[in-house]
């Protein structure tokens, strides 16, 4: 073992991705942030476009409006009805998708180089002349409602939805971005037209482009694509009050594997403590096999297939969020191990070795995000939505390397307070009983503890 580890001790050079050097800004007016990573190896261009049209902008009583409107983005524009619009995309193999986050609508477009002008023409039509035809609206409405209904039977989605409601109590971040059956049923085509007009705007837009396109071409093409998109300003979101409702909230469901979602108030992205907090979270629960939570809950106890935590920061709030799923008779024990592991981490922090390992992972793996055009556009877009400047790409690894053990301990003590933890369990916890160990092969028929334990 010694000889092996000696080899491994060489530090990973904290390489800045090669592409970072080539990332440049394009000019689409003061209210837009546009970055380009040019690379001509593969004849593909990827776009990641973010607009202030996330689910937090859903008006009261119309939860899901932003997401419903986004789902209509490829459902017809100008003289193309839904079927014609989809055919226009498919004829040129243009990949077009839209997702709704809390703050942003994120549109991803990928195209073969030769079809980029057509991709941008269709995007412009979708953004400026959406049709919201009655048949398409009715169809998508039913699709969304069926998806919501199915989600009501899935523990991870039930837990996540309830956690969001409880944690962001009353704020627009608190309603499910998909909406609920009642709100989706009540949304009209006029609601969507109004939402698109006021929120599908270039005031506050972020665009990341990567791949086989020159700066000159990109500048010209994006200029003409977004020229007709409104530049109106979007009304800012309200400030947020207290986050979280400490304790365990249980939503009974008769399922083989309950899910738990847990969280704490996080650290805002612009706070200098964000980076130390991010590193701390990696060590506690963000880092796959190397994380404390995975070690304690999966590796040592075999309680789950996966446990992870993450640090998210939105424009008005930040959250440290985690999730885990395990069998009904182990869910209480699992949540307790999460709390104990967190308490120990808050009190003692990581070891120097854990910190060093976290840094080499976080810095060394950074270039992996830039190994493809799609990956690069997605990563740059994520940075843009965090309001980071273009120079951050080059600075990022040095910021992580500068984190000290004291930084991590100080931030962890503040952040990881199990007494403040909001926990939502979807599923019905069962009493932990004597679970027979597996019988040797063929010795006797295996016991069926799970079937017997259902209440």
Partner 1 sequence: MTGSRTIAGLVVSVACLLAGSAPIVAQPNSDAPPPARAAAPQVFQFALQNGMQVVVIPDHRAPVVTQMLWFKVGGVDDPPGISGLAHFFEHMMFRGTKSLPGDGFALTVSKNGGENNAFTSHDYTAFYEQIAKDRLPLMMRLEADRLANLDLSDDTVGPERDVVMEERRMRVENDPQSLMNEQMAAALHLSHPYGRPVVGWMDELRHIDKLSAQDFYDHHYAPNNAILVIAGDVTPTEVRDLAQTHYGKLRARTLQPRAEFAEPPRLAETRMTVTRPDARVPVFVRTYRVPSYAQARPGVAQALEVYGQVLGGDQTAALYRILVDQKKLATDAGASYDGDARDAGQFSVYAVPRPGVTLEALEKAVDQVMAGFVANEARASDLSRAKTDLVSATIYRRDSQMAMAMSYGRALMIGMTVDDVNAWPARIRAVHAAAVNRAAASLSRRNAVTGYLVPGK
How many Cβ atoms are within 10 Å of 401's Cβ, its own excluded?
Answer: 13
* Residue 345 CA, distance from chain mean position: 25
What is the closest distance, in whole angstroms, from the C-beta atom of residue 443 to partner 1 in the complex?
Answer: 9
Which residues, 147 to 186, sit near partner 1 by CB under 8 A? 147, 149-150, 152-155
Binding window for partner 1 (CB under 8 A); candidates: 67-75, 188-196, 387-395, 401-409: 67-75
* Residue 43 makes contact with partner 1 by CB under 8 A: yes
Binding partner 1 by CB under 8 A: which of 232, 233, 371, 394? 371
Residue 326 within binding range of partner 1, rule CB under 8 A: yes
Beta carbons of 255 and 454 less than 8 angstroms apart: no
Quote the CA–CA distance of 69 and 87 in Å, as a whole number: 20
Site membership for partner 1, residue 360 (CB under 8 A): yes
Contact call for residue 195 and partner 1 (CB under 8 A)? no
- Give me the least distance between CB of 375 and partner 1, in Å please: 8
Nearer to partner 1, 12 or 233 (CB): 12
Q: Is residue 394 a contact residue for partner 1 (CB under 8 A)?
A: no
Which span sits near partner 1 by CB under 8 A: 66-74, 165-173, 236-244, 400-408? Answer: 66-74
Residue 230 and residue 205 in contact, taking contact as beta carbons nearer than 8 Å: no
Taking the least distance from each CB to partner 1, the nearer of 317 and 355 is 355
Among 59, 78, 112, 217, binds partner 1 (CB under 8 A): 112
Told to check if 398 binds partner 1 by CB under 8 A, we report: no
Contact call for residue 41 and partner 1 (CB under 8 A): yes
Site for partner 1 in 236-295 (CB under 8 A): 254-257, 287-290, 295
* Smallest distance, partner 1 to C-beta of residue 355, A: 11
Residue of the chain from 70, 201, 275, 346 that contacts partner 1 (CB under 8 A): 70
Q: x/- contact string, 122-141, with partner 1 (CB under 8 A)?
A: -------------x---xx-
Considering only 216, 242, 431, 437, the residue that binds partner 1 (CB under 8 A) is 437
Of the candidate spans 163-171, 186-194, 314-322, 441-449, the one that interacts with partner 1 by CB under 8 A turns out to be 441-449
Closer residue to partner 1 (CB): 92 or 121: 92
Nearest distance, CB of residue 237 and partner 1, angstroms:
25
């Amino acid at each position: 073992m010694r000889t092996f580890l000696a080899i491994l001790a060489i530090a990973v050079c904290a390489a800045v991705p090669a592409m970072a050097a080539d990332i440049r800004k394009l000019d689409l007016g003061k209210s837009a942030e546009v970055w380009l990573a040019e690379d001509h190896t593969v004849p593909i261009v990827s776009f990641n476009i973010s607009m202030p049209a996330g689910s937090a902008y859903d008006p009261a009583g119309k939860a899901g409006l932003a997401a419903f409107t986004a789902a209509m983005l490829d459902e017809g524009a100008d003289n193309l009805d839904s079927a014609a619009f989809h055919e226009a995309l498919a004829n040129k193999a243009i990949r077009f998708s839209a997702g709704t986050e809390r703050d942003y609508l994120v549109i991803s477009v990928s195209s073969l180089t030769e079809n980029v002008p057509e991709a941008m023409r269709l995007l412009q039509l979708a953004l400026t002349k959406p049709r919201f035809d009655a048949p398409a609206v009715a169809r998508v409405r039913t699709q969304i409602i069926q998806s919501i209904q199915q989600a009501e039977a899935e523990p991870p989605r039930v837990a996540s939805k309830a956690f969001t409601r409880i944690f962001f109590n009353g704020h627009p971040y608190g309603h499910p971005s998909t909406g609920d059956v009642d709100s989706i049923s009540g949304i009209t085509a006029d609601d969507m037209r109004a939402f698109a007009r006021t929120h599908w705007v270039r005031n506050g837009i972020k665009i990341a482009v990567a791949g086989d396109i020159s700066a000159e071409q990109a500048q010209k093409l994006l200029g003409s694509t977004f020229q007709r998109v409104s530049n109106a300003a979007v009304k800012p979101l309200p400030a947020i009050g207290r986050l979280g409702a400490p304790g365990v909230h249980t939503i009974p469901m008769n399922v083989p594997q309950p899910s738990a979602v847990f969280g704490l108030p996080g650290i805002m992205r612009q706070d200098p403590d964000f980076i130390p907090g991010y590193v701390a979270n990696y060590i506690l629960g963000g880092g796959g096999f190397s994380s404390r939570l995975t070690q304690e809950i999966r590796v040592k106890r075999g309680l789950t297939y996966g446990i992870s935590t993450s640090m998210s920061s939105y424009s008005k709030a930040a959250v440290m969020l985690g999730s885990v799923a395990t069998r009904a008779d182990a869910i209480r024990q699992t949540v307790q191990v999460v709390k104990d592991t967190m308490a120990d981490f808050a009190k003692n922090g990581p070891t120097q070795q854990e910190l060093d390992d976290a840094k080499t992972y976080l810095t060394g793996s950074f270039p992996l995000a830039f190994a493809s055009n799609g990956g690069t556009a997605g990563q740059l877009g994520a940075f843009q939505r965090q309001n980071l400047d273009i120079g951050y790409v080059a600075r990022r690894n040095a910021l992580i390397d500068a984190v000290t053990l004291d930084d991590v301990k100080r931030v962890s003590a503040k952040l990881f307070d199990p007494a403040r933890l909001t926990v939502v369990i979807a599923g019905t916890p069962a009493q932990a009983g004597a679970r027979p160990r597996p019988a040797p092969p063929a010795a006797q028929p295996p016991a069926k503890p799970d079937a017997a334990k259902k209440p």
